[in-house]
């Protein structure tokens, strides 16, 4: 089967299932695992996030959505040349990747389209099975789903009975967005509680005043689409009276793939270092504000 994946998580899952060779086209954000780099890029963002501030990115996204425009450009000619049997996309978030509506407008081809829209950890695991079934190897989907569930359960068991740590998880920094979809579950299973989190629902805009009014013991900075180094850079100017840490939101939290298990383990270690071993993922502690 020839697949164009317009979704980083789908590309990661397909590779984890052992079918990376089936990917004939990807988005420019499909960078994991490394074997995906160099494959034909069939879609890219219309804004250059690298040269914009977090607030400017937010404004550009809002303006585009108000104009009913897409944030992504699809190379229809290249897709036609690649002749895919299946295109994988999503309708969960217009900001994260190309949606089904975008494809209807951009592609004249009649190609089967599969939309993956998980909102919870159990639904993330189910996407492994859905893709594996499409690829004719359903047993691999079961194995990958069980591996995710087992790794997360191990952290949950290690933190069971411990006093939950109060946290605020920021999916964006300016303006701050609270945690949504599967991330509040990750926090809870790791032994934390985020009062502003919206399990199974989209993230929403909040304010630092509202977030800090919850009196978190730890602030986690995980802006969607960025690694830990960039999260740290974009936190310049923020000041907290409690510990704060910048993590790789792009790799281990926002992308609903196999690496979410490592994200849960990182949270478990940040909340309860005596109970959960450090997975040694990228993280950078911020300097505490002066008293």
Using one digit for the tens of pLDDT, what is the confidence trace for 246-273?
999 999 999 999 999 999 999 999 999 9
Residue 212: partners with Cβ closer than 8 Å, 6 or more residues away: 168, 219, 240, 241
Better pLDDT: 179 or 113: 179
- What integer pLDDT is reported at residue 109 of this predicted model? 63
- Take residue 286 and report the two structure tokens written for it: 């911020």
Instruction: Report, as an integer, the average pLDDT of 101-114.
Output: 69
CATH number of 141-285: 3.40.50.1980
> 217 and 209 in contact (C-beta within 8 Å)?
no
Task: Tell me whether residue 246 is exposed, middle or buried, using C-beta atoms within 10 angstroms of its C-beta: 0 to 12, 13 to 18, 19 or more.
Answer: buried
Instruction: Report, as an integer, the average pLDDT of 193-211.
Output: 96
Any idea which of 63-67, 140-144, 258-262 has the lowest mean pLDDT?
63-67
CA distances from 217 to 2, 169, 225 (A): 48, 11, 25
pTM: 0.91
Domain ranges of the chain: 3-117, 141-285
- Is residue 65 scored above 70 in pLDDT? no
Report DSSP state, residue 57.
Answer: H
Residue 97: pLDDT band with limits 50, 70, 90: low
* Percent of the chain topping pLDDT 90: 75
* 3-117 and 141-285 in the same fold: yes
Better pLDDT: 73 or 274: 274
- What are residue 169's DSSP bridge partners? 220
- What are residue 27's DSSP bridge partners? 43
Any idea which of 79-93, 193-207, 239-253 has the lowest mean pLDDT?
79-93
Better pLDDT: 72 or 25: 25
Residue 145: partners with Cβ closer than 8 Å, 6 or more residues away: 125, 126, 128, 129
Residue 190: pLDDT band with limits 50, 70, 90: very high
DSSP 246-266: EE-HHHHTSS-STTHHHHHHH
Question: Class of 3-117 per CATH?
Answer: alpha beta
């Amino acid at each position: 089967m020839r697949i164009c994946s317009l979704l980083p998580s789908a590309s990661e899952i397909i590779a984890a299932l052992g079918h990376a060779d089936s990917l004939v086209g990807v988005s420019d954000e499909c960078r994991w695992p490394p074997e995906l780099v160099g494959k034909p890029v069939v879609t890219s963002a219309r804004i250059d996030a690298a040269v914009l501030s977090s607030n400017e990115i937010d404004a550009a996204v809002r303006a585009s959505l108000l104009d009913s425009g897409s944030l992504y450009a699809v190379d229809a000619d290249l897709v036609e040349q690649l002749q895919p049997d299946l295109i994988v996309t999503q309708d969960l978030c217009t900001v994260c990747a190309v949606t089904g509506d975008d494809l209807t407008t951009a592609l004249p081809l009649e190609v089967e389209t599969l939309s993956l829209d998980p909102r919870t950890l159990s639904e993330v695991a189910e996407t492994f099975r859905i893709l594996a079934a499409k690829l004719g190897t359903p047993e691999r989907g079961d194995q990958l789903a069980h591996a995710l569930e087992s790794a997360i359960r191990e952290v949950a068991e290690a933190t069971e009975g411990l006093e939950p740590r109060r946290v605020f998880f920021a999916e964006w920094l300016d303006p701050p967005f609270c945690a949504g979809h599967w991330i509040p579950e990750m926090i809870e299973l790791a032994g934390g509680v985020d009062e502003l989190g919206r399990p199974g629902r989209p993230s929403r805009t909040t304010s630092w005043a509202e977030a800090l009014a919850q009196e978190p013991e730890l602030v986690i900075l995980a802006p969607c689409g960025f690694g830990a180094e960039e999260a740290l850079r974009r936190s310049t100017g923020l000041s907290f009276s409690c510990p704060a840490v910048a993590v790789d939101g792009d790799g281990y939290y926002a992308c609903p793939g196999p690496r979410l298990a490592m994200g849960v383990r990182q949270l478990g270690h940040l909340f309860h270092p005596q109970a959960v071993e450090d997975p040694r993922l990228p993280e950078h502690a911020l300097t505490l504000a002066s008293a």
